[in-house]
Amino acid sequence: MMTLPTRYRPESAHGFLQNPTDGAQWRSEALAQLKARGIPSPKLERWRYTNLAGFEKANAVPAQKPELSFNPITLPWMVQNSRKLVFANGYLVFGDARLTLGGHLLEVPYDADPMEKFNDGMLWALNTAFMQDGPYLNLHEDATIEIIHVGLGHDHPQLASPRTVIEIAAGLNATIIEQYIADGAGVVHTNAALEIEVAANANLKHIRIQDEGYTRTILSSTHARIARGATYEHSFLNIGGALSRQEFWMELLEEGAHAAVKGAQLVTGRQHMDTTVLIEHAAANCTSNQTIRNVLAGDAVGVFQGKIHVHKIAQKTDGYQLCNTVMLSDRASMNTKPELEIYADDVKCSHGNTVGALDDAPLFYLRSRGIPEAEARRMMLTAFIGDLFDALDDNIKDALNKRVAQWLDHGIV
């Protein structure tokens, strides 16, 4: 068992963030693990469609705390009376320090590297070795929290390693909105790690917009543990990054738990975008839902790998997964791997996957009604993304749909 700090408890006396170069043992252990195994390569099954060679070659240095050149109030906040945090290159620059890892004393971990299990936990180790700060949201009352991660570009590539820990106490309702946005032209890559714990009957809505710079590598690993009767619903909109990959590992640990991932990947130019999901049904009577929509233009490459793993004990599981892709360009490519691994017999699991161009028939219909082709295509794509964000609060839904509309406007159609 590695003793990397993957799960924290604030009550310990051992602090690590006061001195990021403290040479703490877990940091050097993570670094040693990273050195031994390197950055994941397409030789690993879970990485067969995404190649980090460019990221590795960039030789980024750990990011330093930057100077802010704008007023955080001007950032695209979505909810008026939410609690707000701004991190720049992984460091807190705006908001309540008590809501961050840096504001707490942290203990030595109790859990092994969660990504160890898949033999490709290098990014988690990379985050552990270089993490600076990040949100620590240990919630005991209902709350809406907005976090904006700003990537401030640099001449020499830097690497931001924000670590997020979210713990929702039993029975609470919480909404957490995360945005990753770019500032400045230079390069700062991001390798985020998130640990989420949803206690019994709690309800967490997690929204993530990744709208980073088109020259950057944006990586994230999210590990969620969901208890009895609790729900964790993740909605995402991925637009930015030259190369981006988000990994989810959701564990449904007790009966009645529910997990959902819904989101869109909008990919254009020479972008490469990867969403990899693993949902583990480790208890009976749990449900999960994955709905992914991809729109690919230009020379873009899209990847979706989704897996539902049903343990022997997880009878009465209901697992669903759907991935639809529209290809707007002949040079784009889409790779999907929807996987089912099932060991219980009384389950209902299904997945569906489609890849294709926009349908000619409705396009023709709209044009025959006098709608110009570009407008007609736009309407169809808007409808295609359509209902993904319907279940969210109006102001969040509107903000997401507006961002989709902007993307469609910018010469995509």
Partner 1 sequence: MVATSDTIKQVQMMSGTYTAGFTTDIDMELAPMGLNEDIIRLISKKKEEPQWLLDWRLKAYRHWLTMPEPDWAKLKIAPIDYQAAHYYAAPKNKVAPKSLDEVDPKLLETYEKLGIPLKEREILAGVAVDAVFDSVSVATTFKAKLEEVGVIFCPISEAVRRCPDLVKKYLGSVVPQADNKHACLNSAVFTDGSFVYIPPGVRCPMELSTYFRINTAKTGQFERTLIICDKGAYVSYLEGCTAPMRDENQMHAAVVELVAHEDAEIKYSTVQNWYPGDENGVGGIYNFVTKRGLCEGARSRISWTQVETGSAITWKYPSCILKGDGSQGEFYSVAVTNGHQQADTGTKMIHLGKNTKSRIIAKTISAGKSDSTYRGMVKIMPKASGARNFTQCDSLLIGDQCGAHTVPYIESRNASAALEHEATTSKINEDQLFYCQQRGLNEEEAVALIVNGFCREVLQHLPMEFAVEAQKLVGISLEGSVG
Residues that bind partner 1 in the complex, under the rule CB under 8 A: 45, 312, 315, 325, 327-357
Nearer to partner 1, 354 or 395 (CB): 354
Nearer to partner 1, 64 or 354 (CB): 354
Q: Rounded to the nearest 10 degrees, how much is the dihedral formed by the CA atoms of 207, 385, 240, 43?
A: 90
Nearer to partner 1, 44 or 108 (CB): 44
Could you tell me the two tokens for 173? 């309702």
Least CB distance to partner 1 at residue 314 (A):
10
Query: How far apart, in whole angstroms, are the C-alpha atoms of residue 5 and residue 16?
Result: 10
Least CB distance to partner 1 at residue 128 (A):
29
Nearer to partner 1, 220 or 276 (CB): 276
Tell me the pairing of strands 158-160 and 188-198: parallel
Residue 71: count of CB within 10 angstroms of its CB: 8
Nearer to partner 1, 337 or 397 (CB): 337
Least CB distance to partner 1 at residue 374 (A):
17
Residues 206 and 234: beta-carbon distance below 8 Å = yes
Nearer to partner 1, 242 or 334 (CB): 334
Nearer to partner 1, 108 or 344 (CB): 344
For residue 195, give the H/E element and its range. strand 188-198
Query: How far apart, in whole angstroms, are the C-alpha atoms of residue 275 and residue 238?
Result: 9
Residues 336 and 353: beta-carbon distance below 8 Å = yes
Could you tell me the two tokens for 381? 């794509």
Least CB distance to partner 1 at residue 346 (A):
5
Query: Please, which residues bridge with residue 183 across strands?
Result: 152
Residue located via tokens 């695209």: 76
Residues 167 and 197: beta-carbon distance below 8 Å = yes
Least CB distance to partner 1 at residue 273 (A):
15
Phi, psi torsion values for 397, nearest 5 degrees? -60, -45
Phi, psi torsion values for 71, nearest 5 degrees? -90, 125
Residues 171 and 227: beta-carbon distance below 8 Å = no
Question: Any residues with CB less than 8 A from the CB of 296 and at least 6 apart, and which?
Answer: 267, 268, 302, 325, 326, 327, 328, 329, 332, 333, 334
Q: How many CA atoms lie within 13 A of 342 on its CB side?
A: 17
Q: Which of 186, 223, 230, 191 is nearest to 210 (CA)?
A: 191
Least CB distance to partner 1 at residue 72 (A):
41
Nearer to partner 1, 117 or 331 (CB): 331
Least CB distance to partner 1 at residue 392 (A):
28
Query: How far apart, in whole angstroms, are the C-alpha atoms of residue 176 and residue 87?
Result: 15
Least CB distance to partner 1 at residue 267 (A):
13
Least CB distance to partner 1 at residue 344 (A):
6
Least CB distance to partner 1 at residue 322 (A):
9
Strands (E), 282-373: 287-296, 301-310, 318-327, 333-342, 348-356
Least CB distance to partner 1 at residue 352 (A):
5
Nearer to partner 1, 253 or 295 (CB): 295
Nearer to partner 1, 169 or 344 (CB): 344
Query: Please, which residues bridge with residue 182 across strands?
Result: 151
Nearer to partner 1, 112 or 358 (CB): 358
